[in-house]
Structures are given as C-alpha cells and as structure tokens.
Amino acid sequence: MLAVGKELLIGRTLNSNALWLGKRLARMGSMLKEITTIDDDLSEIGLAFRSIIGRSPNFLVVVGGLGPTPDDMTLRGVADSLEVELKHSEAALKLIREHYASRGLDKIELTPARLKMARLPAGAEPVMNEVGTAPGVRLVTGSTIVYCLPGVPAEMRSIFRLSVEPEIRKRLGRTFRTYITLKLEGILESAIAPIIGEELRRHPEAYIKSHPRGIKEGVSRLELDIAVVGKEKEPTQEEGVGIAKELEKKIVGAGGRIMTVKGMGKQRRRA
C-alpha cells in the first residue's frame, strides 16, 4: 500500500485506511506486505512508486490524491513514473457526470478542477466510485496490478470491496483461515518468547504473535494470536488448533494461566 497525503504525516489524519486494508486482506488469507506513507509531492510519489513496482508485487494499492485540488497529484506522479501521458478519459468523465446527476447536480459546471478527476495515465481504466466523485483507477505495469483509490475512507472501502477484492480473491484462489486468540495471565512476554520461537520453527508458515496488555496488581496480562492459512479447510483448522493446544500446555507448564480461548469453536473461558 502506498498512502499519499501530508495530513497522514503531520498527525492531522490517522491512517485508518491502512488498518482497514491490512485487516481485510488478512481475513481473505492474503497479507499487506508493506505500507509506505509519503507527502503530496510529485518527486516523492514517483520515487516511492518506482521503488515498489521494482519489487514486482502482485498488487499495489495507492490511496489518496485523486481529488480536484492542486495537492491531489497522485495520478500525475504515477504517469510520470511510467513515462506515459496523463490523458482525458471519456469513461471516467461519464462516471463523474453520473455521480453528480445521481445527487441532483446534473447541471453542474464541469470546471477544470472537476475535469482533472477524468485525466488518467494512458492505458489506465476508471473504476466506479459509488460513494464519491473521483473514480478509482486500475492499470497494469509488468506483473503488477495497480489500483489507485480515493483517500476518503468510505470511498476507498467501497471501491475495494466492489472492484479490488474480487480480483485479489480470484488470484488467490479459495483459501481458509483459522484465527485463535489466547488471553493469558501470570506470565511475562519474555517468558513465552522461547515457547513461541519453538512453535514457529515447527510451523514456519503460521502467524504467532504476543501482545502485552500491561501489568495490573502485579499480574502480567497478554494476548497471543495464532493464524494459519491454507487451501483446505480441515487441515488448516487442525494445524491452528494443534498449535494453540501445544502453546496452552507449554504456557501452563511455565506458570502462566489461560484465561480465555477464542476461535477454537465456541469461546472457552478458564478459571
């Protein structure tokens, strides 16, 4: 993910798009490999875009900078990086007109600022934005599929669900995900580190991560996440449950307490 916007860098806006996108991809059985956040600056956009494309990811989602204002320069930066022209798109303009008409603004003047949202890198295609004005943009460079989406969270999420996610799911094929969370007490993170390390050596493709939740009245509290992704449902579930049970046994053996287990069928609560 390439997030574009000064507001993300000066503390004006929280990058909730990255949080949402990472969680959405994880639930699909994929993963957000990298998040790069940059200023609204042509040279920065170009540098970051070329750097990411040079690593040939399956997908690159660029978020922000598609609007009508002068600082919305993402598509110009992408076009410059690809050494192509930024061209007027009748298909994009049609989507913009339809958006205004659906809100009773069919007579609105298409000023240069509004027409700017219909200028796309040559070879790109617009993607319908059911929530806002600026269309999303899809293009292909090398082996990478690039989607440029608006930064407004509601718009980004809508376009992602309708257009980006189906294409990613098609590329992934059918996947299954087992996700289990253990809530622990009475053991420090440093004490379970070697336990986690041993389990990761046995299951290198699994995700096992501890999250400290502080110490209250002298009692350490932790959460431990376990995620396994696979192409078959039952083996994926069996591996995830097996990891969780092995961790439970070793954590209890090290003096910890398992307070709750979520994700292995119904939530279980331990005394």
Q: For residues 136 and 89, give the distance between their C-alpha atoms in angstroms, rounded to a whole number.
A: 12
| pLDDT, mean over the chain | 94
Quote the distance between the C-alpha of residue 231 and its chain's center: 21
Q: Is 44 helix (H, G, I), strand (E, B) or coil?
A: helix
**Other residues' Cβ atoms within 10 Å of the Cβ of residue 170:** 8
Q: Is 59 helix (H, G, I), strand (E, B) or coil?
A: strand
Q: Are strands 144-149 and 219-230 parallel, antiparallel or unpaired?
A: unpaired
Report the pLDDT value the prediction gives residue 263, as an integer from 0 to 100: 87
> Is residue 199's pLDDT more than 60?
yes
CA distances from 172 to 60, 133, 197, 229, 249 (A): 15, 30, 28, 11, 34
- Name the percent of the chain lying above pLDDT 90: 91
Cα Rg, the chain, nearest whole Å: 23
Q: Mention every residue, 6+ apart, whose C-beta is less than 8 A from residue 69.
A: 113
* Residue indicated by tokens 């070697």: 194
Q: For residues 268 and 257, give the distance between their C-alpha atoms in angstroms, rounded to a whole number.
A: 13
Residue range 2-172, CATH number = 3.40.980.10
Match domain 176-269 to its CATH number in 3.30.300.10, 3.40.190.10, 3.30.70.260, 3.40.50.2300.
3.30.70.260
Report the pLDDT value the prediction gives residue 40, as an integer from 0 to 100: 96
**Other residues' Cβ atoms within 10 Å of the Cβ of residue 87:** 14
**Other residues' Cβ atoms within 10 Å of the Cβ of residue 207:** 17
Q: Mention every residue, 6+ apart, whose C-beta is less than 8 A from residue 47.
A: none
Q: For residues 209 and 199, give the distance between their C-alpha atoms in angstroms, rounded to a whole number.
A: 11
> Is residue 229's pLDDT more than 90?
yes
What one-character DSSP code corresponds to residue 67? S
> Is residue 271's pLDDT more than 70?
no
Main-chain phi, psi angles of 143, to 5 degrees: -100, 10
Residue pLDDT, tens place only, 243-263: 999 999 999 999 999 999 998
CA distances from 174 to 147, 163, 202, 222, 232 (A): 22, 18, 25, 33, 8
Q: For residues 68 and 98, give the distance between their C-alpha atoms in angstroms, rounded to a whole number.
A: 17
Residue pLDDT, tens place only, 104-134: 998 899 999 999 999 999 999 999 999 999 9
> Is residue 269's pLDDT more than 70?
no
Residue pLDDT, tens place only, 23-55: 999 988 888 999 999 999 999 999 999 999 999
Report the pLDDT value the prediction gives residue 265, as an integer from 0 to 100: 53
Beta bridge partners of 229: 177
Residue pLDDT, tens place only, 59-89: 999 999 999 999 999 999 999 999 999 999 9
> Is residue 270's pLDDT more than 50?
no
Where exactly are the structural domains of the chain? 2-172, 176-269
